[in-house]
Amino acid sequence: MMRRLRLSSQTMKAHSKPARGRGAIAVAATWLLATALALNLAAQETAQQHAQRGIDLAQSGNLAAAEAELRRAVQLDPHNAELLGNLGTVLAMEGKLEESTPILKEAVELNPQALVLRQYLAANLWQLHQAAEARTQLQIILKAQPQNSQAIFLLGMVSENLKDYTAAARLLASVPKLVRQHPESVAALSLSQYRTGAKEEARKTLGMLIEHPGDARAALLGAGMASDAGDYDEALRLLEATEASNPGFPGLLYHIALAEYHAGRYADCETKLLALANTRQDSSETENLLGWCYEKQSKHGQAISALRHAIALGPDQESNYLDLGGILSEARSLPAALRVAVQGVESFPKSARMWSLKGLVELRMSHYPDAVQSYSRAYELDPSDAGALLGLGKAREGLGSTAEAEKIFEEGARKFPHDARFDLEDALLLLRRADAGDKTATPRAIELLHEAAAIDPASAEAHYQLGNVALEGGRPSEAFDELQKASQLEPNASKIHFALARACRRLGQKEAAAREMAVFQKLKEQELSVASAAPAGMGSQ
């Protein structure tokens, strides 16, 4: 990277003898100029001597001493691009990127053709997370040297950082030898290929990581890329291929279990996690995952126990409280959920998510004043939390402050225009007002429901409510269409099938009405069974 510095010699020519009178001044000026040039030449020689010592020291590995010599050289000759470049390079080798970068910039400005220095500058900028500026420097290099493989490689990595996955995939795939040398670049290429829809190419790229099965860290990195792309089968292939040659490698068995969980192989995941517990590799993280494994298999009591154990092992992990409180709340074991939420806000008083969980449980328990306080605190901590503002509106309505609630829902719809829940809740508030006798609220409610369905076409509740309004308005055909959409989106919601049965009866479709009523009764029994069994098993824990 560094080469010896050579001085260019300069010769001074003799001046002709000046005329008398003004000639004396000319003689003096000539003498001063000659003196200045001589001093400058001496300084140049001294700068080069310091520079050469600095280069020799750097090559021997003594970077601190090399830096000192090169700094002295630059002090003596501050506009020498080569000296600046050498100093910037040594600083980068020492990891002093913030100091190195402006020096390399100055060197490149003094000598724009110094492409090697420009490449060092680009590498610095990339490591300092200034990817856009790094890309500009690399594009200049590649315009002059289109076949510069190192610049192509670095531009590919920079493009991946900038989420320009098409460019990253193209550039990195063109320099496979360089990519293969670094697990991080293999991961970057595979991620870019996944993001551009080239799943099979991504899998081939990740295959580079198991060419050396002893490198478990590389396999974990690749599995992470595959998991992020939702390719859990590939993640498992990488991890399982590495497990045999890395028995007991920290974290490997856990990540295999995690990939199995995401792949829906809950029983296999459970087996792996229990094996970890038996080998004393138990942790808050493994117990949390075990809890979710149990929950996915409807083993609710075991899920609660595992998550409580996760809290005991990792009381500083906020996610444990959120997960346990959330599961208890969904199971309607509300007193137990509230205890967890209270413990959570005591442990994490500045967590908006914990305050939102507390507000959710209080709302479900109809503790509206407490819910208002909790959601207000959550929204104060995180004004970008749409759920906290939505919960605050619901709590205000629960208190009977419907005008305030309506203002909150309208504010939320303006602030979060892509969140259909605000229009939906505003519509439900108006429908309740219409049920209480204010029929003027119905047209605006219908308008809001259509807006909610347009924002979120997957909102079963919006279509269900539109179907109900049409049914009550004597429009069974319109109601049937909306309820059919709702049923397709949420087939296990008993109330939708009950409404469909009513619509079918209005349309004279007796057999269809009977089928829908049978589905309703079956689903309702299941809902009642879960509601009656779960709290008894969980609330006592």
Model confidence over 412-457: pLDDT tens digits? 999 999 999 999 999 999 999 999 999 899 999 999 999 999 999 9
The answer on pLDDT for 150 being more than 50 is yes
User: Which of these ranges, 17-31, 194-208, 458-472, has the smallest mean pLDDT?
Assistant: 17-31
The answer on pLDDT for 8 being more than 60 is no
pLDDT in the model for residue 475:
96
The answer on pLDDT for 79 being more than 50 is yes
pLDDT in the model for residue 532:
58
The answer on pLDDT for 211 being more than 80 is no
pLDDT in the model for residue 540:
32
pLDDT in the model for residue 338:
97
Give which of 179, 181, 182, 162 is closest to 171, Cα–Cα: 179
Expressed in percent and rounded to 5, the helix, strand and coil fractions of the chain are 75, 0, 25
Question: How many Å apart are CA 442 and CA 276, to the nearest integer?
Answer: 58
CA dihedral 306, 308, 313, 318 (to 10 degrees): 110
- Crossing angle of helices 199-206 and 183-195, in 10° steps, is 170
| Rg, the chain, Cα only | 35
Q: Report residue 264's pLDDT band, with 50, 70 and 90 as the boundaries.
A: very high
Q: Where are the alpha helices (DSSP H) in 80-114?
A: 81-93, 97-110
pLDDT in the model for residue 219:
86
Average pLDDT for 49-54: 89
Question: How many Å apart are CA 46 and CA 26, to the nearest integer?
Answer: 30
Average pLDDT for 215-225: 87
For the chain, the domain total comes to 2
The answer on pLDDT for 33 being more than 50 is no
Cβ–Cβ < 8 Å for 152, 174: yes
Q: Residue 372's Cα: distance from chain center in Å?
A: 31
The burial of 537, by beta-carbon neighbours within 10 Å (0-12 exposed, 13-18 middle, 19 or more buried), is given as middle
Q: Residue 22's Cα: distance from chain center in Å?
A: 77
With respect to residue 52, please indicate whether it lies within any of the assigned structural domains.
yes
With respect to residue 104, please indicate whether it lies within any of the assigned structural domains.
yes
Tokens of 321: 């409280």
Query: CB within 8 A of 358, min separation 6: which ones?
Result: 338, 341, 342, 344, 345, 370, 374
Question: How many Å apart are CA 127 and CA 494, to the nearest integer?
Answer: 55
pLDDT in the model for residue 27:
41
Q: Report residue 518's pLDDT band, with 50, 70 and 90 as the boundaries.
A: very high
For residue 13, the surrounding DSSP H or E stretch is none
The answer on pLDDT for 35 being more than 70 is no
Phi/psi of residue 516, each to 5°? -65, -35
The pLDDT mean for the chain works out to 88
Domain stops at, among 146, 164, 190: 146
pLDDT in the model for residue 331:
84
For residue 209, the surrounding DSSP H or E stretch is none
Range from 47-51, 80-84, 278-282 that averages highest in pLDDT? 80-84
Torsion over CA: 202, 206, 211, 213 (sign): negative
Question: How many Å apart are CA 314 and CA 22, to the nearest integer?
Answer: 91
Q: Report residue 213's pLDDT band, with 50, 70 and 90 as the boundaries.
A: low
With respect to residue 432, please indicate whether it lies within any of the assigned structural domains.
no
Domain stops at, among 104, 125, 146: 146
CA dihedral 246, 251, 255, 261 (to 10 degrees): 130
pLDDT in the model for residue 276:
85
Tokens of 441: 């609220």
CATH number at residue 510: 1.25.40
Average pLDDT for 518-538: 70
Give which of 110, 41, 32 is closest to 78, Cα–Cα: 110
With respect to residue 24, please indicate whether it lies within any of the assigned structural domains.
no
User: Which of these ranges, 165-174, 347-356, 528-537, has the smallest mean pLDDT?
Assistant: 528-537
Domain stops at, among 119, 146, 173: 146
CATH number at residue 88: 1.25.40.10
pLDDT in the model for residue 240:
86
With respect to residue 524, please indicate whether it lies within any of the assigned structural domains.
yes
The answer on pLDDT for 159 being more than 60 is yes
With respect to residue 518, please indicate whether it lies within any of the assigned structural domains.
yes
Query: CB within 8 A of 401, min separation 6: which ones?
Result: none
Q: List Cα–Cα distances, 342 to 333, 351, 373, 391, 399, in angstroms.
A: 15, 12, 13, 17, 21
pLDDT in the model for residue 279:
75
Other C-beta atoms lying within 10 Å of the C-beta of residue 431? 21
Question: What is residue 214's three-state secondary structure?
Answer: coil
Question: How many Å apart are CA 359 and CA 373, to the nearest integer?
Answer: 8
The answer on pLDDT for 29 being more than 70 is no
pLDDT in the model for residue 347:
96
Percentage of the chain beyond pLDDT 90 is: 75
Model confidence over 302-350: pLDDT tens digits? 999 999 999 999 999 999 999 999 999 988 899 999 999 999 999 999 9
The answer on pLDDT for 183 being more than 70 is yes
pTM above 0.75, yes or no: no
Looking at residue 458, what DSSP letter applies? T
Q: Report residue 215's pLDDT band, with 50, 70 and 90 as the boundaries.
A: confident
User: Which of these ranges, 22-26, 75-79, 467-471, has the smallest mean pLDDT?
Assistant: 22-26
Looking at residue 7, what DSSP letter applies? P
Residues spanned by the domain of 528: 479-541
Cβ–Cβ < 8 Å for 364, 375: no
List Cβ<8 Å contacts ≥24 apart for 135-141.
Answer: 135/159, 135/162, 137/108, 141/115
Give 240-300 as a DSSP string.
HHHHTTSTT-TTHHHHHHHHHHHTT-HHHHHHHHHHHHHTT---HHHHHHHHHHHHHTT-H
Q: Report residue 217's pLDDT band, with 50, 70 and 90 as the boundaries.
A: confident
With respect to residue 105, please indicate whether it lies within any of the assigned structural domains.
yes
Tokens of 100: 């190195």
With respect to residue 511, please indicate whether it lies within any of the assigned structural domains.
yes
